[in-house]
A and B are shown apart, each in its own frame.
Chain A
Amino acid sequence: MPYFGSEETVKDLKRALSNPNVQTDRLRYRNYIIRVIRSMTQGLDVSSLFMDMVKASATVDIVQKKLVYLYMVTYASRKPDLALLAINTLRKDCADPNPMVRGLALRNMCNFRMPGITEYIQQPILSGLRDKASYVRRVAVLGCAKMHSLQPNTEIDPSMVNELYSLLRDPDPVVMVNSLRALEEILRDEGGVVINKPIAHHLLNRLKDLDSWAQSEVLTFLLRYRPRSNDELFDILSLLDDFLHSAHAPVMAATLRLFLHLATAHPAVQADALLRVHGPLLATCGSASRELRFAGLCHVQQVLRSQPALYGNHYKRFFCGYSEPGYIKFRKMEILVELVNDENVALVLEELKSYCTDVSTELAQAAIAAIGRIGRTYNEKCLDILTGLLALKQEHIASAVIQTFRDLVWFCPKSSVAVCKAVEGCDESLQDDEGKQALLWLLGEYGEQISGAPYVLEGFIDSLKVELCSVVKMELLTAAVKLFLCRPAEMQDILGRLLHYCIEEESDMCVRDRALMYYRLLQSGVDETRKVLLGPKSDPSMTVLTGRPEEPVNIWASSFNTLGPLCGTVACLENTSAENSVQQLHSAEEKDGAEEFKLSPPEQTLRTEAIEEELSCIADAAEELNLTMGPPLSHEAFERLWLELQVAHQQALGIPRPAETLETLQAAFQLVKIQTLAFTRTDAVPWKAYMYSRAGGTLILAELLQGAPEESESIGNLLVSVKQQPENQQAIRSFFSVLTNVLQTLSSHGSQN
């Protein structure tokens, strides 16, 4: 940021700093140096004063020294030759009897980011590592890391590494943690600091002496350690137990993450830890710092993915405070939707209802959408509230309600009667495009039940010339044609006008093409049109897809206490740099995928263990063909892709469905890296299952179908349809072979029993 008259300022400062009268007056001298730093912070380039500042560094005044060092560190990389002049003073200070001066000089000397500095700092660092003052040792240890980062490609000095490892036993806790940090940076190319059994136990035993920052960092380092036996594991867990209740949120979160990680194979232990930590986690959600509250809420959301029941009784803690900022309120509403159960539904809905008239339109609309989400389970209560809101006749509320209605009838068709009754006569209050689209969709879909539908459409068509949004126009076309099919007498004239306008006068290509398409479709006959437009609607058996199953803890445990949950999306987490330990964890977990297998509830473990051995050889095969699960695919994304893509391959397997329970089936597929997303109930006919996997850079979506009505000869046998993006025939072949193998193994096993 250049400032007006900045050159004048620099000249003035230079004149003042070189004035001998100023130099003798300590306070005046220091004040000028403070002015230099102030200009530097504001973005002014004061690097031309470097020479004068080097002179100012030769002083006994520590405050002045600190300020000058701050200046030199900032500009050293730009004036390396001048910076070397300061080295002498700094090296002299490194031998000062006062440890504070020694530490200060060493720290700042190591902060000079210029290539030639290493030869000057090596000796002071090495003597600093053996200094008797812990303050200097702390600085020297991190100095090793700084030195390494200045010359990243040189060979690592093994004697220094050994020295750092031995400093892990230093009596000063900060020196110990700093050694860990330094080793981690120096050995990054070799996979970071090695946490073996003696080091892990040493760290665990020292944990109590550390301050909370160091504790949470050491706990993160311990994620890398894998206990050899169950006994050792439980010893460690009992040592960690106290820290779960720490008053410091960072320590609590780091401990929980370590707990979940260590107990990967013991779901009961994980559940217990989550239960015990729910108090402290709730406390962060009510913390005085808003940002901490937000972090707490995001992590509660993660826990809810596996244990929705855990916070059911505490729903009142997630009621929004009226002075809270929007981003906290949105999270709280999302959580409230997850927490709803038979007991609290009435109170939660009443609370959400009071947000619907909030000043902020975004908040009001989110509250309405939240009520809609609850409405998928508690239909009638929510419909009453939503219908009541329409009476307010406010644009943003009406628009949100209509959109919610549209989503609701798609999920539970039975609510359509009430929705149709409510929709009548609310068309005047809609102004925004999304609301109009939703209303038009409803009119097209349920036009038979809404008596005034043609007149509403007529209103839209009359104001077509002033309509700007092309999506609304397209929706209007679809709705008009659909309505024409069920109420031809009333619609014929209107539809004619609409098509005429859209084909002759419309300038938007998409709308014109759509109109032309409908026109030609209608030309080919009403029956044809009906077949195309009123084809099968949403499949009621697909409702399983919308219900979110409880995810195993291990899916999210590795991103707990990272920035991922706060960013909101998985994609964000992947973008962050790869150097951190999370990724290493991921790969470690993938290597021994067999452990994930043990996650299924205990009663099935026995059942599945017998199959496990047979499956493991298939799993090996799967690895050769590189089937991977990759990042999880949401139900919504799956559904979208499934509807978009064409069937790439369809094949009857000639194998009946295995008689295993659905959970076993799911676990078995997981072992060979096929993720199952949804099943219909066991006794449903036709029976369906949806799953996906990744191979060779493509995503494979598959549907298993048993007992499809039109293919009577194949009843009992499974039919597989595969869709893929992008296409890769080889991947499909390998997917099929793995799938067949698994099913064969499972069904042969089933018949043995």
Chain B
Amino acid sequence: MISQVFILSSKGDHLIYKDFRGEADKDAVSVFFEMVTALSGDQPPVVMSHKDLNFIHVRQGGLYWVASTKTNASPFTVIEFLNRLAALTKDYCGSLCEKSVRMNFALIYELLDEMVDYGYIQTTSTDILKNFIQTEAVTSKPFSLFDLSNVGLFGAETQQSKVAPSTAATRPIMSHRSEQGGKNEIFVDVVERLSVVIGSNGVLMKADVEGEIRVKCYLPTCSEMRIGLNEEFSIGRSQLRGYGTAVRVDECSFHQAVKLDEFDTYRILKVCPSQGEQTLMQYQLSDELPCAPPFRLFPTVEKDYGSRLLIFLKLRCDLPPKSTALNVSVTVPVPKGSLSLSQELSSPDQTAELQLKNKAILWSIPRFPGGAQLSALFKVEVPSLSSASLLEVGPVSMSFELPKQTCTGLQIRFLRLSPTQPGMSQRWVRYVTHSDSYTIRI
């Protein structure tokens, strides 16, 4: 059972504090903050104890979400609860940051009051909570040029207005009383996280994909939704279906509310989505990628005359020509004592800088079209350069996002709401792959 729940900003300001059982002091908040800021890098911070009080916290949106307990509770439960609290806050307030929590603290108190009683979790389901939550969310709309781009000349419908703006899914779910109301939308996102290690000889050493299908629902009522996956989708090794390229995952688990009676034959998930965000399905694929890894690197590292190190990188994007990778950043560790960097990059929108604190070069590429090849030459000044220093260059790590791409090849064939919603209801399916960790050894 939970004694207290509190939310602190990264500077230690009290944003939310609720004491459920009256068995611990309010001083606990400052005790916690002192402890968490005094931790050194290698100490595990998730669980900390002070006298007989245990603090468990998660960090989300730059905030500390903390629960304290006097019992030896299940860590999985408390961590999941805090994550769920953060997710609900995001659902109700639209976004997760210090500002939104500050502005909506009355709403969060109301949520907490219904979620937990006397330290015992009562419910966290949006369906139930929405009956009790009365406070309306306050949102601040940041001014953005992207909003203007959706307005066509003289109100004409442009190509872009058919694409959901990226901010569409970051608004509060309870907005039906505000002016935005009436916009019945449902988003189905297939999100995959890729973690890859490529050996120095270019061989794929490790490739894991963790994926999930998320539904974010703004429909006030929704009876049943049917989501059709690829028919050749298979789980495990034994169960390959059909000919051609199968879409395979190793393990797969579903949300409690998902009905699977048509899954075995037709690969259809049936669910009655509740308002807010839910993860319907989680899956993993390990040690195997159905497609080529998205990036290949051809590095050359050599010692120039004097104390200069030459790093020549050729980076190839193996995505299909129509797709693009966004926000690609490449981190190349350099030897200790590196002083300065001069670079030759192939286009002006790329940047590269030497981060002395991390002793690494950060090369960022905002857009990287599939099939393209980029090269960069870095000259690093290292006064104490020896042949052993070359060992310190590498491994290269990359981070990127691949919109409209899934590595497993999982696709959503169709999305049907039954019975069909009266009025305007818009359905969106989005795919994205993030790099969890993409490491290339040199």
Contacts and interface: CB of A to CB of B under 8 A. Distances in A.
B210 interface: yes
Given A359-B358, A566-B75, A322 B389 contact: no
A584 to B, nearest CB: 12
Contact of A294 (B40, B44, B118): B44
Contacts of B302: none
A174 B19 CA distance: 21
A146 to B, nearest CB: 6
Contact of A317 (B123, B193, B286): B286
Contacts of B22: 77, 113
Given A37-B109, A283-B284, A360-B41, A62 B134 contact: yes
B70 interface: yes
Interface stretch (A155-163, A390-398, A678-686): A390-398
Contacts of B260: none
Interface string B400-440: 00000000000000000000000000000000000011010
B77 A357 contact: no
Question: By CB atoms of chain A within 10 A, which of B16, B40, B131, B256 has the most?
Answer: B256
A319 B397 CA distance: 13
Interface in A26-76: 34, 37-38, 41-43, 62-63, 66-67, 70, 74
B171 interface: no
B110 A391 contact: no
A317 B208 contact: yes
Contacts of A362: 40-42
Contact of A295 (B76, B109, B388): B76
A253 interface: yes
Contacts of B253: 245-247, 280, 283
A328 to B, nearest CB: 9
Interface stretch (A12-20, A211-219, A511-519, A666-674): A211-219
A326 interface: yes
Interface in A556-603: 561-568, 572-573, 575-577, 579-580, 582
Contacts of A576: 49, 52, 54, 70-72
Contacts of B169: none
A316 B207 CA distance: 9
Contacts of B250: 279
B436 A321 contact: yes
Nearest to A359: B358
Question: By CB atoms of chain B within 10 A, which of A1, A100, A138, A213 has the most?
Answer: A213
Contacts of B81: 213
A439 interface: no
B388 A393 contact: yes
B14 interface: yes
A489 interface: no
Interface string A463-507: 000000000000000000000000000000000000000000000
B115 to A, nearest CB: 10
A326 B40 CA distance: 10
B117 A41 contact: no
A358 to B, nearest CB: 8
A728 interface: no
Given A37-B105, A70-B109, A283-B284, A250 B54 contact: no
A414 interface: no
A643 interface: no
Interface in A282-325: 282-284, 286-292, 294-295, 298, 314, 316-317, 319-324
A317 B437 CA distance: 12
Contact of B117 (A42, A74, A138): A138
Contacts of A388: 391
Contacts of A37: 105-106, 109
B16 A41 contact: yes
Given A245-B253, A249-B76, A357-B333, A142 B44 contact: no
Contact of B256 (A212, A288, A319): A212
Interface in A335-372: 347, 350-351, 354, 357, 359-360, 362-363, 366
A253 B78 CA distance: 12
B98 to A, nearest CB: 14
B205 A359 contact: no
A291 B118 CA distance: 25
A102 interface: no
Contacts of B21: 149
B59 to A, nearest CB: 8
Given A41-B105, A181-B120, A564 B388 contact: no
Interface in B15-56: 15-17, 19, 21-22, 26, 40-47, 49, 52, 54, 56
Contacts of B41: 326, 360, 362
B45 A327 contact: yes
Contacts of B256: 211-212, 247-248
B126 interface: no
B58 interface: yes
A149 B1 CA distance: 15
B254 A247 contact: yes
A324 B437 contact: yes
A295 B113 contact: no
A342 to B, nearest CB: 18
A70 B135 CA distance: 14
A213 B118 contact: no
A139 B58 CA distance: 28
A178 interface: yes
A247 B74 contact: no
B255 interface: yes
B206 interface: yes
B260 to A, nearest CB: 12
A292 B247 CA distance: 28
B386 A393 contact: yes
A253 B73 CA distance: 12
Contacts of A217: 77, 120-121
A443 B75 CA distance: 47
A208 B396 CA distance: 48
A220 interface: yes
A122 to B, nearest CB: 17
Nearest to A65: B134
A111 B439 CA distance: 53
Given A37-B106, A213-B81, A357-B391, A316 B206 contact: yes
Nearest to A576: B72
Contact of A327 (B42, B72, B357, B394): B42
A249 B250 CA distance: 18
Contacts of A350: 199, 441
A283 B282 contact: yes
B46 A247 contact: no
Interface string A179-218: 0010000000000000000000000000000011110110
A582 B72 CA distance: 8
Interface string B52-66: 101011110000000
B251 interface: yes
Contact of A580 (B71, B117, B193): B71
A575 B70 CA distance: 11
Interface of A: 1, 34, 37-38, 41-43, 62-63, 66-67, 70, 74, 77, 100, 107, 111, 113, 138-139, 142, 145-146, 149, 174, 177-178, 181, 211-214, 216-217, 220, 245-250, 252-254, 279-280, 282-284, 286-292, 294-295, 298, 314, 316-317, 319-324, 326-327, 330-331, 347, 350-351, 354, 357, 359-360, 362-363, 366, 388, 391-394, 561-568, 572-573, 575-577, 579-580, 582
30 contacts: A34-B106, A37-B109, A41-B15, A63-B110, A107-B117, A145-B118, A181-B118, A181-B120, A211-B124, A216-B74, A220-B74, A247-B254, A283-B210, A283-B282, A319-B197, A321-B195, A322-B331, A322-B439, A327-B43, A354-B441, A392-B388, A392-B391, A393-B388, A562-B74, A563-B56, A566-B46, A566-B47, A566-B75, A573-B72, A576-B72
Given A211-B125, A321-B436, A562-B75, 7 more contacts: A67-B109, A178-B117, A213-B81, A253-B76, A317-B286, A563-B56, A580-B72
